Structure 1
Amino acid sequence: MKSKDHKYIQAFGNHLRKLRKAKELSQEDLANDADIPINQIGRIERAEINTTLSTMRAISKALNIDIVELFNFAD
């Protein structure tokens, strides 16, 4: 059963995928740059997990963007 927040988690994952691709990074590249497990990027993008703030911070640093940009998506 999906949580009531699943649509936001899914929108976040879709937005992350767009940001990553705009930087021409593979999931593996982003994971390595963010120093997080390789499969975690895919799980976030597929909305399989609700990621933590510390992971979001690592991802934003790896993408060289302000963390606020990760939240700039339409639900």
Structure 2
Amino acid sequence: MKNRLPEYRKKHNLSQDKLAEMLDVTRQTIISIEKGKYNPSLPLAIRIARIFQTTVEDIFIIDE
């Protein structure tokens, strides 16, 4: 699954550390999601989308 998390994070001037803190996860989790090495759980994906006031589908793109 591809994602636009780095784009949204930078657009909102959030560091990986700050976003991790907001989501109560580690910075390593954010790094892994951004690199596509880890797909977040649905609840985590929803929390991420809410922070950026968008939909899960806008941030996470399923590879066809």
Q: Distance in 2 between matches of 1:32 and 1:17?
A: 16
Aligned to 2:47: 58
* More RCO (CA 8 Å, sep 6+): 2
Which structure has the highest strand share of the two?
2
Unpaired segments ≥5 residues, structure 1: 1-8
RMSD (Å), alpha carbons: 2.3
Superposition TM-score, scaled by structure 1 size:
0.67
Superposition TM-score, scaled by structure 2 size:
0.76
Unpaired segments ≥5 residues, structure 2: none
Which structure has the highest helix share of the two?
1
Q: What number of residue pairs does the alignment pair up? A: 64
Give, in angstroms, the shift of residue 20 of structure 1: 0.6
Q: Distance in 1 between matches of 2:55 and 2:40?
A: 17
Give, in angstroms, the shift of residue 69 of structure 1: 2.7
